[in-house]
Amino acid sequence: MNKKTIESVNVKDKKCLVRCDFNVPMSGGAITDDTRIRAALPTIKYLYEHGAKVILCSHLGRPKGEFNLKYSLKPVSVRLSELLGRPVVFANDVVGEDAKAKVAALKSGEVMLLENLRFHKEEEANDKEFCRSLSQFCDIYVNDAFGTAHRAHASTAGIVTYGFAHTAVAGFLIAKELECLGGAIESPRRPLVAILGGAKVSDKIGVINNLIDKADTILIGGGMAYTFLKAKGLNIGKSLCEEDKLDLARELIAKAKERNVKLLLPIDAKVAKAFPDPIDAEVPFRQVDINEIGADDMALDIGEETANFYAGEIRSAGTVVWNGPMGVFENKNFASGTYSIASAVADSKCISVVGGGDSAAAVQQMGLADKMTHISTGGGASLEYLEGKILPGIDCLNNVD
């Protein structure tokens, strides 16, 4: 997608309404991980250094359209001020009198943050009048929240699609997502190896369908692998299986073969008699060949042979796109498959793009984030992008002429 960025427009003395993703984890009113705040810093700094009046907005949590102090963005403004080393004005409302007064007083080169967008139910409803109210703070609209770009909400798309913001551009974070995710799919260095995991085939149908037309090899792991294995006639015991997706799995296997794409499945697995409850509980397990899964076994991770087999494919890759864990990685007994894949990707010389969510969490936990070319900031958004879907928050931005 060839979209204009903040570098494409003159921002000096302009009110720039910047949609950020400050949906950070909180505990007892304190931010426990400021990664998303730090990710927005390059865009914010560029804007104020170029003389813009920077008005930031975001959601936090799910306050259900009502004011709830638990979900206030006030702590974010404090942390943002610390990271920027300059004051960040905080508005106690979104489109109310306090916000209006503080925007009116804002000088070029200054930064402010509006209160939580989702204190208004009109945000998620993409209400036209709410969009109109937001637009009073907006000479230039900047979207830098890739994690919400798949949602057609007021602040992510409506303000532009209703015609209230005519100049709409991407911040640096979204520009990087488009460059890395888009480049990996549309013009990859070959071979392109896609690694897909997670629980359900139904969650990844669109991704597999899209990647069969683009990838050279697809490595399947996680619970979704066992629907494919059962579709091939194997006994999978009590392993996760979507019975209503067996025909679809056969169709995808056939489609991959027809396209000359290697669609590879586990050759061994770590199995237990029951799913760990709680998730980190110690449960007895053993490793078995994929043809030796017993009637009362539940496969919870790929085995060592599969991990080594997949690592070989990764070593020969020019580009790797990874979305979804190989097993129940939240439990230490079933984390080695996911960690082995992460290590293989980190050690390879490929261009590596990691989807958001659990894959990104595993990479962060292992301390391998700096060895990946790009880790997406959007779980659902990156998944829909890999499916080839149109993301409203990206589609509404101005195209490069």
pLDDT (tens digit per residue) in 235-271: 999 999 999 999 999 999 999 999 999 999 999 999 9
Backbone angles phi, psi at 298, to 5 degrees: -125, 120
259 is catalytic: no
| Average pLDDT value for residue range 23-46 | 93
Q: What angle do CA 391, 393, 395 make, to 5 degrees?
A: 60
28 is catalytic: no
Burial of residue 394, with CB atoms counted within 10 A of its CB: 0-12 exposed, 13-18 middle, 19 or more buried: buried
| Average pLDDT value for residue range 385-389 | 87
Name the amino acid, one letter, at 76. Answer: V
Rounded CA-CA distance 52/349 in Å is 40
Both tokens assigned to 206: 């669109």
CB 324 within 8 A of CB 292: no
pLDDT score recorded for residue 48: 98
Beta bridge partners of 263: 218
Residue with the larger pLDDT of the pair 365 and 338:
338
pLDDT (tens digit per residue) in 349-367: 999 999 867 888 888 888 9
pLDDT band of residue 166 (cuts 50, 70, 90) is: very high
pLDDT score recorded for residue 51: 98
Q: Which of 74, 200, 262, 273 is catalytic?
A: 200
The residue with tokens 């091939």 is 232
Backbone angles phi, psi at 96, to 5 degrees: -90, -165
Q: Which of 15, 19, 36, 102 is catalytic?
A: 36
Name the amino acid, one letter, at 245. Answer: K
Rounded CA-CA distance 121/400 in Å is 33
Rounded CA-CA distance 157/167 in Å is 12
Complete domains list, the chain, with CATH: 6-176 (3.40.50.1260), 188-386 (3.40.50.1260)
Cα distances from 30 to residues 65, 70, 71, 114, 323, in angstroms, run: 22, 10, 11, 18, 30
36 is catalytic: yes
pTM given for the model:
0.88
Rounded CA-CA distance 246/255 in Å is 14
How much of the chain is in helix, strand and coil states, percent to nearest 5? 40, 15, 40
Q: Which of 147, 197, 198, 357 is catalytic?
A: 357
pLDDT score recorded for residue 1: 59
Both tokens assigned to 380: 């659902």
357 is catalytic: yes
Q: Which of 315, 380, 388, 389 is catalytic?
A: 380
Cα distances from 242 to residues 199, 295, 325, in angstroms, run: 10, 17, 18
